[in-house]
Structure 1
Amino acid sequence: MINIKKTQLKSGITVVTERIEGVRSISLGFWVVVGSRNENKEEKGISHFIEHTFFKGTKKRDPKEIARALESKGATLDAFTSKEVTCFYSRGLDTHLKLATDVISDLIKNPLFPEKELKKEIGVVTEEIKDNEDSPERYIFDLLFRKIFVKHPLANSVLGEREYIKRLTRRKVSSYFKKWYNPDRIVIAASGYLRHKELLRYIESSYKAKKIPESAFFTPVINQYKPFSFKFKKKGLFQAHLILATPTFDYNDSRRYPLLVFDTILGDGMSSILFQKLREEKALVYQVFSFADFFSDAGIFGVYLACDPVKIEDAKRIVIKEFRRLMKKGLTKKAVSEAKVRLKARLIIGQENTSNRMIRLGRSEIYRRKIITMDEIITSINKVTTGDVNDVVRDVLQEERLSFVYIGDF
């Protein structure tokens, strides 16, 4: 029996829940459809910065009261910002659903943005950006998006850039908040031992808002992509880092599941093609993996690896050689079948966690505007054929469309 329910409140807020019998916990997330892609040049990093400042005081609670409100009950309270969404979430006992709803509603409805705390947080976020820049395995992905989506809003780094963060003022923060934190851009997702109607009552009590005209969640932008090779010199590194990547398709494209199956075969885990070839057979790398990310109007697929700088070109040649082999010979029915089993198992095991279920509900509603059940996802994976996967392979591995980003002490 599927216990998933959805309601759109008069305010425009969408609420989706999944009741799970046999657990005593709940995961609650307030999703706001705003992220780094919504920022203009002078606002770089403001979406993530605002996420931090919500915890610096509201009309009802000071920062310490916010921190203690749920933690004192054994629950958690956190948030994250991405390219396209910001999420404030809590996980705790089912008896604390009302409190969690009130605390998160308070955060995103009644922030004070105190001047003193904003100035302090500019320092904190600046240090976070420095930490990211000091971590080549993370920073290389910022460089990749900056180059591969050069005239597209997905190029914006979630953390932003120090020079723009330092220019943020309370006026800019308040203006950005009023522009994007509207009820029609909020999706509340919850999973666990809860009742849908009960959560609706808590929301209507805690988050009172007037309905405004609805707007589209996303404005599609065509990516003007040209393949490139970019090297970023960073002194003092013992390893060189490399990404080979190409833009692909969006979250709702029918080729998404075939690409996820291929990603599993190519670079997911110790049995993957690249791990076996580059680490086990050639002993060139310690870390190598492939990745596939999907957004509202675009996607990206690639391979990340790191090794001794003198070996980086050898590793690159082997990856490209494998790409050529796969383009020519394709994948076998057995390889595709095994990958589908692994992909389904990972998804199903992940659903034993209420937080993962809440995230699935939130993303499904935001990107599909409807709830896709786990059974529907499994059915979609089951329908993937060897031909589907090989078609995707021939599409995404075209050598003339590959781009390269390096970081190292070259």
Structure 2
Amino acid sequence: MITKSVLHNGIRVISETMPHSHSVSIGIWITNGSRNDQIDINGASHFIEHLLFKGTPTRNALDIAREIDSVGGVLNAFTCREYVCYYAKVLDEALPKAVELLADIFLNSLFDQADIEKERKVVFQEIWMLKDNPDSYIHDLFCQNLWKSHPLGMSIIGTEETVGRISRETLLDFRNKRFCAEDIIIAVAGNVVHDDLMVLLEKLFSDVTPGAYAKNESTPAYKKQINLNNKDLEQVHLCLGTKALPQNSPKRYVGYIINTILGGGISSRLFQEVREKRGLAYSVYSYILSHSDAGTFVVYAGTKKEQLFEVIEVILQLMKKMKSEPVTSAEMLFSIDHLKGNLLLSLESTDNRMTKLAKNEIYFDRQISIPEIVAGLERVTTNDIIDLCNELFQDRFLTLELMGKLDDLSIKPSSISL
């Protein structure tokens, strides 16, 4: 059973009771992320995420770690473009302790100057680690260039320059302006009693300032482009992407099936053609990255430089085929069953259910049931797929991001076409 309540100051609380579960997952979600960082302090949301684990007036960093370890739990956080989540997963009997611990670090973190300087170095290490992993870094660069000059294009973790200039005063001001009640969702899933939870949360979060932060709601534009990143690597890594749907689009189920057929698994067209039939890549796949007002459909592959143009051509040809030739009924049924299976399996864990509660609230302002999702998938027709592919797979939306030994590579936007 899913229940939603609102604390007196506007904080939304959503819980799903799973009486046969031994665990409970709780997440405090802030509905603004890196896209709401100012350009000159890009990375501030992520930096604050790190600092909330460094100490409060009653706990130091080791106390925080020991307290969650003492109950065999998990305490962590993550920052995305449109939200930040601080979460814990514990046995149901330890929920009150986890809630109090989360509330303490969320509301009372000290932002000690010495901790800020140490954690700044840690964030620098994270930035350098990302740059040392080309199969991860290529995706970050792709988004930066796809949405260049728009907040969605800013790196989630920031840059050395921007993180290096963020002061304690800036961080405190940032936290105080962003941690407003109407921008907070507390999502809980597991063996939990909603009324008992509300009593606990009302006591701990009653002093959170009411109101909401004014968000950047400008919509990004797309343009055809190719970006080369010269790096001494054995492979050339590529992301080839186009426009996709926002999170709440009525056509989103069509997009899910397109992605599944084209590159969503080892039986997909991309994997079978690029890897199994031609042996051109070890890793090749597609994915959809969707936000509240924009999205992108991306194909990734890593290959030898000598095979690069063949890989790009195969990807483009498979995308073109989706625009003109109906998929088979067998592919449709397979994709729907694949998506249903993935969804149902993911909901066996309380942390995934907690995440689903929060994301549904953020993007739909309501809970989307499993039967509604299944019905949405089963309504998709082959003509729906062709129509959406023609809407999204267009030359004017194409971005190609390349990374590797590219000194003598010559490739122009006119050479890639859908």
Q: TM-score, normalised by structure 2?
A: 0.95
What's the counterpart of residue 297 of structure 1? 293
Aligned with residue 11 of structure 1, among 9, 12, 17: 9
> Structure 2: how far apart are the matches of 1:341 and 1:158?
34
| Residue 210 of structure 1: how far off its partner (Å) | 4.9
Query: Aligned to 1:65, which of 63, 70, 74?
Result: 63
Which 10-residue stretch deviates more, 115-124 or 140-149?
Answer: 140-149
Bigger drift between 393-402 and 368-377 goes to 393-402
Find the counterpart in structure 1 of residue 96 from structure 2. 98
Shift in alpha-carbon separation, 1:386–1:320, aligned structure 2, 3 A: same
Q: Which residue in the other structure is 2:106 paired with?
A: 108
Distance 1:79 1:246, change over 3 A: same
Tell me how far apart the structure 1 counterparts of residues 94 and 259 of structure 2 sit (CA, whole Å). Answer: 39
Q: Where does the alignment leave 5 or more consecutive residues of structure 2 unmatched?
A: 407-418
Cα offset, 1:183, TM superposition: 1.3
Tell me by how many angstroms 1:336 deviates: 1.4
Q: Distance in 2 between matches of 1:112 and 1:33?
A: 22
Q: Which amino acid aligns with 2:225?
A: F
Q: Distance in 1 between matches of 2:170 and 2:198?
A: 33
For 1:339, the aligned partner's letter is S
Separation in structure 2 between the aligned mates of residue 219 and residue 165 of structure 1, nearest angstrom: 21
Matched, 1:21 2:19: yes
Q: TM-score, normalised by structure 1?
A: 0.96
What residue is the counterpart of 1:43 in the other structure?
41
Paired residue for 1:187?
185
For residues 262-283 of structure 1, the C-alpha deviation after alignment (integer angstroms, 9 at most, x for no partner) is: 1011111211000000001010
Match for 1:234: what amino acid? Answer: K
Q: 2:204 matched to which residue of 1? A: 206
Give 1:91 deviation, angstroms.
0.7
Structure 1 match to 2:415: none
| Correspondence for 1:353 | 349
Q: Tell me the equivalent position of 2:128.
A: 130
Residue type matched to 2:79 in 1?
T
Partners of 2:213 and 2:174 in 1: CA distance? 16
One-letter amino acid of the counterpart of residue 224, structure 2: P
Stretch deviating more after TM superposition (3-12 or 391-400): 391-400
Structure 1 runs (4+) deviating above 3 angstroms are: 213-216
Task: Check whether the contact 2:324–2:386 (CA below 8 A) recurs between aligned residues.
Answer: no
Q: CA deviation at 1:400?
A: 4.1
Q: Is the 8 A contact 2:222 2:397 kept in 1?
A: no
Identity of aligned residues (%): 33
Q: 1:248 aligns with which of 237, 244, 251?
A: 244
* 2:99 counterpart letter in structure 1: T
Q: CA separation in 2, counterparts of 1:292 and 1:248?
A: 7
Q: How far apart are the structure 1 equivalents of 2:208 and 2:231?
A: 51
Q: Which residue of 2 aligns with 1:232?
A: 229
CA drift at 1:26:
0.6
Q: 2:41–2:165: 8 Å Cα contact kept in structure 1?
A: no
| CA RMSD after TM alignment | 1.3
Kept after mapping to 2: 8 A contact 1:227/1:400:
yes
1:278 aligns with 2:274: yes
Contact 1:57 1:66 in 2 (8 A): yes
Are 2:367 and 1:407 equivalent residues in the alignment?
no
Shift of 1:287: 0.3
Instruction: Tell me what 1:118 maps to.
Output: 116
Q: Which structure 2 residues correspond to residues 251-266 of structure 1 after superposition, within 5 A? A: 251-266=247-262
Q: Which residue of 2 aligns with 1:86?
A: 84
2:413 is aligned with 1:388: no
Rounded to whole Å, the distance in 1 between the matches of 2:60 and 2:43 is: 24
The alpha-carbon deviation at position 146 of structure 1 amounts to: 1.1
Alpha-carbon distance, 1:386 to partner: 2.0
SS in 1 for 2:261: helix
Amino acid aligned to 1:393: C
- How many residues matched? 406
Cα deviation for residue 385 of structure 1 reads: 2.1
Letter in structure 2 aligned against 1:299:
G
Following the alignment from structure 2 to structure 1, what is the Cα–Cα distance between the partners of residues 230 and 260? 31
Alignment of 1:354-373 (within 5 A): 354-373=350-369
1:17 counterpart SS class? strand
Amino acid corresponding to residue 344 of structure 1 in structure 2: K
Q: Which amino acid aligns with 1:231?
A: L
Offset, 1:334:
2.2
